[in-house]
Amino acid sequence: MPEAKYILVGSSHAALEALRSIRLHDPEGSMAMITRDAHLPYSPTVLPYVVSGRSKPEKVLLRDEDFFTANACTFVPNAVAAGLDAKTKTLKLANGDSWRYETLLIATGAAPAIPPVKGLDSVNYHVLRTLDDAKRLRSAMGGARSAVVLGAGLVGLHAAENLAEAGLSVSVVEMQDHVLPGYFDPKASETIESAFTSHGVKLFLKSKVVAVEARDGGHSCTVTLENGNTISADLLLVATGVRPVTDWLDGSGVKLDRGVLVDETMRTNVEGIWAAGDVAQALDFHTGKQALIGIIPTAVDQGRIAGMGMAGDSYVRAYPGGVPVNTYRFFGRVALSIGQAAATTAGYEIAVSEEGGYRRLVLSDNRLVGYASVDQPFDVGVMGELIRRKVDLTECKDAFMARPVETGRRLMSEQWR
Ligand SMILES: Cc1cc2nc3c(=O)[nH]c(=O)nc-3n(C[C@H](O)[C@H](O)[C@H](O)COP(=O)(O)OP(=O)(O)OC[C@H]3O[C@@H](n4cnc5c(N)ncnc54)[C@H](O)[C@@H]3O)c2cc1C
């Protein structure tokens, strides 16, 4: 049976960062990266551009084979983790192979969550999480003139924009009142919504899909909304959220809730096993509880900490908790959402400005807890640090409210000095 000191299950942001931090501490320990993907690592964020044709699939890879050779890591693609025996420290693959490990990282990320809609199974619907999903969707676009996207979260909107730019007539159906719920308050969302509608994308908000009916042997479909209206399209993309990939851990003894539960150094409850990224349910900076925060900065931070722990690096520090950060680009414009940007919590102080774009500051106890902007200059690093360090703004609150970026930069340069 092949064995490795370090086994990384998954080949995306969290696993790559773990690899990096392991190699900083241990240049030689045997290592394998095991992934169900057929390709070398890539970022899911490029997939909408593969769909539109702006990026070529072969150009989106984050690492090449030489990288794995240089880092003495065996890259094992097309290998689906199917089970884990923690007693014998054995990872079992769906093809019957097994690997013995000393330490193991669970970095299997998240996969699309499919809603239980009547008739959906009869349609050749699409999802967008892997390069093969993107290639499949791109090739289906060949003969298509229209698309319907279920879900107006980040994945749904990125895809809708790229489908529209590729010339399709696009409809987006969202159950909530606004697009990007959770990231932006209604006013900011409305600005984003008007960009979509002015580019010809039809938005069906506060709309629930109750049935899908196949046409042309399942290639096209008609979607029925709760109010009885119907939308017909040649393509259906389901982007209604994601779910951590934990099915292969059943019976392993690794403690699961919505994702894999980890402590402040990304350790699971099972000795020798860590978890990081979209699969991990780790500390949430704002609530102090364990939560799923499916974004790249979180996957990278957690991957680094897990890798340090796996390699026995004594400089490992506790994870301070994830702060949601999203820089959202749409139709050549940009919006930013950090922390509790959409919060309406009682007791929070909220300041909105619509001068030269939109900006929303959310403060609690004179400290920044959330920041959103659309079409305004911003500084993700500084705003994020003000939130993470809970900087007291009492002395300069008026200046901060009037000029947050400049005031924030000045404050941080004083703190960093
Ligand atoms: C279209 C799109 C746009 C996005 N845009 C943004 C954005 O703008 N900003 C942002 O911060 N985040 C964005 N995200 C989210 C971001 O991509 C994820 O947070 C990030 O990729 C998480 O990395 P990860 O390493 O935890 O897992 P993932 O990227 O989910 O990768 C999981 C890895 O595990 C492997 N795997 C899964 N199951 C198994 C198994 N059973 N056996 C073996 N291998 C397995 C997969 O093949 C993959 O290599 C976007 C995601 C999508 C899909």
Summarised one tens digit per residue, pLDDT across range 93-107 is: 999 999 999 999 999
Tokens linked to 279: 């699969």
How many angstroms does the Cα of residue 295 sit away from the middle of ligand 1? 8
Which residue out of 295, 300, 334, 338 has the highest number of ligand 1 atoms within 8 Å of its CB and is therefore the one to mutate? 295
- What pLDDT, on the 0 to 100 scale, is given for residue 393? 94
**For residues 237 and 137, is the Cβ–Cβ distance under 8 A?**
yes
**For residues 126 and 155, is the Cβ–Cβ distance under 8 A?**
no
From the alpha carbon of 82, which atom of ligand 1 is closest?
Answer: 41
User: Which of the listed CATH numbers 3.10.150.10, 3.50.50.60, 3.20.20.70, 3.40.50.1220 matches domain 3-45+60-111+243-311?
Assistant: 3.50.50.60
Summarised one tens digit per residue, pLDDT across range 253-312 is: 999 999 999 999 999 999 999 999 999 999 999 999 999 999 999 999 999 999 999 999
Residue range 120-240 in CATH 3.50.50.60: yes
Mean pLDDT on 200-205: 98
Mean pLDDT on 249-255: 97
CATH number of the structural domain 332-416: 3.30.390
How many angstroms does the Cα of residue 66 sit away from the middle of ligand 1? 23
Q: Is 271 exposed, middle or buried (0-12, 13-18, 19+ CB in 10 A)?
A: exposed
* Residue type at position 281: Q
- Tally of CB atoms within 10 A around 296: 18
The DSSP code for 322 is B
Which residue out of 21, 33, 36, 262 has the highest number of ligand 1 atoms within 8 Å of its CB and is therefore the one to mutate? 36
Residue ranges, comma separated, of all CATH 3.50.50.60 domains in the chain are 3-45+60-111+243-311, 120-240
Task: Name the residue with the closest Cα to ligand 1, atom 48.
Answer: 10
Task: Name the residue with the closest Cα to ligand 1, atom 2.
Answer: 45
Summarised one tens digit per residue, pLDDT across range 320-344 is: 999 999 999 999 999 999 999 998 8
What distance in Å separates the CA atoms of residue 15 and residue 19, rounded to the nearest whole number?
6
| Residue ranges lining ligand 1, Cβ < 6 Å | 9-15, 34-37, 44-45, 47-48, 80-81, 107-110, 128-129, 154-155, 158, 245, 248, 277-278, 294-296, 299, 326
Tell whether the model's pLDDT for residue 364 goes beyond 80.
Answer: yes
Summarised one tens digit per residue, pLDDT across range 115-151 is: 999 999 999 999 999 999 999 999 998 889 999 999 9
The DSSP code for 334 is E
How many angstroms does the Cα of residue 310 sit away from the middle of ligand 1? 21
Task: Name the residue with the closest Cα to ligand 1, atom 41.
Answer: 81
